[in-house]
Amino acid sequence: MSVSPQGQRALLLRVARAAMIERGLAPDVPPAAMAEVQRLAEPAPPFGADIKDLRHLAWCSIDNDDSLDLDQLTLATALPDGGTRILVAVADVSALVTQGSAIDAHARVNTTSVYTPPQVFPMLPVQLSNDLTSLNPGEDRLAVVVETVVDDAGAAGASEVYRAVVRNQAKLAYPSLGAWLEDRGPLPEAARAVAGLAENLRLQDQVAVRLMNRRHELGALEFETLEVQAQFEGDKVSGLAAAERNRAKDLIADFMIASNGTIARLLEARRFPVMRRMVRSPERWQRIVDIAETFGETLPATADAKALNTFLLRRRTADPLRFPDLSLTVIKLMGRGEYVISFPGDDAAGHFGLAVREYTHSTAPNRRYPDLITQRLVKATLAGRPVPYSRDELEELAAHCTQKEDDAEKVERLMRKAAAACLLSDRIGQNFDGIVTGAGAKGTWVRIIDPPAEGRIEQGAQGLDVGDRVRVRLTSTNPERGFIDFARVGHEPVVPQRR
């Protein structure tokens, strides 16, 4: 099925809205919530006796080039007796999105922003997420600040959580900042304009590396997957661009993991419930073992995060070009993450992929509802108030957030395929190299390398499994349904090297 280039953006938007509705997601903000938005005003001085004034600090945001919903700012200070204090200021979304409001009810339906090629469907009205609750440069904003002391070995120690008013001094983006941190480009202009920020960014990068190395020592997994975005020329899909990992992305990831751990430990210490983000032990560990054996590596018979990470690090060094393919394979075999509520006294399980037990989601309340729930829990314990949710409600919310995140991911995956189908619609009959990313009763899926797109093997899928390399021919595309169909023309199976 083909569609005119001039109609591709409109088609994708129609498909995205229909897919969201089919999965119980709301693409539009209801009138009651919009009416509440019109009555909101941004917090203004005096902010309150329990709120610190940290507007003078050299805060900066680091996000995607096109991000408008800025959830966090970062900062670091070297300590005289060694170690570094990292600070993460998280947008105080709950100050304006009150529990039980119409805005809150809408956010609770989707539980996450949905990112599709033609449009972002934000969890909150854009008047909030892109403005009143976004940590925009030059604006005074309420925040929950998470301080964590990191020693020279990368271990997290003393911590403090409190409310504050902050001001973003520089809006920075991953590509340009990452290039500077890796000595591939100049310091971004926004950072040059803030006295001392360049030195602070170097310090942030140094402590992030220590945090990451420490997690790796404990068995955190080193993945590198392709984040693909559709490119447009007018209304036509003109390409699929894979965003590259860099030091700026790693910096933010490691600061957020550390801060989420601090929040989880705070709630545990105050005997509050914690909504944990978990990836349990891999569902198909034996398949991971078999794949490792094809590279001459031996993994234990039972799931072992540290051993798996050692293997992944070796493969990243040996073959960085194909490492994203291996990462994708292992991620698929590990199974999905989920939200689980733990209550005081529970023996909480850890996050297999991060090698941490104390982990929650708390640093993106503009984009994820679990983070907004956690923020309310944190503010309640800071103020000496009781838990703002019942046990049954928290358990229901954890299950609901897991389901809705899964639904959102399926919509996003469909839309990536729909955009790719638009791009590939004039390449029927061409052959591509790929890797099998899914194999089961519902079908066998392949991701081709160039352009980076995923589709279904409709002919010749017998005997294929996740991780196999294949040569496929494009047989048909259907952008309306997000279908990209292939026929197998070659196959390199994953065969363990038996000793």
In a shared domain, residues 401 and 466: no
In a shared domain, residues 348 and 452: no
- 323, part of any domain: no
pLDDT band (50, 70, 90) for residue 499? very low
Across residues 331-353, what is the average pLDDT?
Answer: 73
In a shared domain, residues 413 and 466: no
For the stretch 35-50, pLDDT in tens is 999 999 877 777 888 8
Strand-strand pairing, 236-243 and 274-278 = unpaired
pLDDT band (50, 70, 90) for residue 498? very low
Cα 125 to Cα 10, 41, 103, 327: the distances in Å are 22, 14, 8, 35
- The per-residue pLDDT for 355 is 46
- 401, part of any domain: yes
Higher-pLDDT residue of 332 and 482 is 482
- 169, part of any domain: yes
- 86, part of any domain: yes
- 329, part of any domain: no
Residues spanned by the domain of 456: 427-499
For the stretch 150-172, pLDDT in tens is 999 999 999 999 999 999 999 99
Where does a domain end: 381, 397, 418? 418
For the chain, the domain total comes to 2
Among residues 437, 487, 490, the alpha carbon closest in space to that of 465 is found at 437
For the stretch 377-387, pLDDT in tens is 999 999 999 99
CA dihedral 230, 411, 406, 62 (to 10 degrees): 30
> Can you point out the beta strands (E) in 102-224?
114-115, 120-121, 140-150, 156-167, 170-173
| DSSP letter for each residue of 53-86 | E-TTS--EEEE-TT-----EEEEEEE-TTSSEEE
pLDDT band (50, 70, 90) for residue 333? confident
Q: Which of left, alpha, beta for 170 (phi over 0: left; psi -120 to 50: alpha)?
A: beta
Q: State yes or no: pLDDT of 321 exceeds 80.
A: no
CB 468 within 8 A of CB 483: no
For the stretch 92-130, pLDDT in tens is 999 999 999 999 999 999 999 999 999 999 999 999 999
Across residues 2-13, what is the average pLDDT?
Answer: 83
Where does a domain end: 418, 444, 477? 418
Across residues 286-307, what is the average pLDDT?
Answer: 85
For the stretch 349-361, pLDDT in tens is 555 555 455 568 8
In a shared domain, residues 441 and 396: no
Average pLDDT, the chain: 89
In a shared domain, residues 100 and 147: yes
Among residues 218, 3, 24, 213, the alpha carbon closest in space to that of 109 is found at 24
Where does a domain end: 364, 383, 418? 418
Q: State yes or no: pLDDT of 338 exceeds 90.
A: no
| DSSP letter for each residue of 2-47 | ---GGGHHHHHHHHHHHHHHHTT--SS--HHHHHHHHH-----S--
Higher-pLDDT residue of 396 and 439 is 396
Q: State yes or no: pLDDT of 240 exceeds 60.
A: yes
- The per-residue pLDDT for 352 is 55
CB 200 within 8 A of CB 81: no
In a shared domain, residues 451 and 389: no
- The per-residue pLDDT for 226 is 63
Q: State yes or no: pLDDT of 27 exceeds 90.
A: yes
Q: Which residues contact 434 (CB under 8 A, 6 or more apart)?
A: 446, 447, 448, 449, 469, 470, 471, 472, 486
In a shared domain, residues 192 and 93: yes
- 325, part of any domain: no
Q: Which residues contact 269 (CB under 8 A, 6 or more apart)?
A: none
CB 61 within 8 A of CB 51: no
In a shared domain, residues 492 and 352: no
pLDDT band (50, 70, 90) for residue 285? confident
Coil, strand or helix at 392: helix
- 349, part of any domain: yes
Strand-strand pairing, 140-150 and 84-91 = antiparallel
- The per-residue pLDDT for 223 is 63
Higher-pLDDT residue of 374 and 314 is 374
- The per-residue pLDDT for 465 is 84
pLDDT band (50, 70, 90) for residue 332? confident
| DSSP letter for each residue of 329-368 | HHHHHH---EEEEE-TT-----BTTTTBSS-B--S-TTTB
Considering only 117-121, 249-253, 279-283, 412-416, which range has the smallest mean pLDDT? 279-283
| DSSP letter for each residue of 97-114 | S-TTSHHHHHHHHH-B-E
In a shared domain, residues 378 and 491: no
In a shared domain, residues 401 and 492: no
Query: How far apart are the C-alpha atoms of 457 and 472, rounded to whole Å?
Result: 8
In a shared domain, residues 220 and 342: yes
- The per-residue pLDDT for 222 is 63
Q: What CATH number is attached to the domain comprising 438?
A: 2.40.50.140
In a shared domain, residues 388 and 431: no
Query: How far apart are the C-alpha atoms of 367 and 54, rounded to whole Å?
Result: 24
Q: State yes or no: pLDDT of 497 exceeds 50.
A: no
Query: How far apart are the C-alpha atoms of 51 and 55, rounded to whole Å?
Result: 12
Looking at the chain, the whole-number percentage of residues with pLDDT higher than 90 is 65
- 326, part of any domain: no
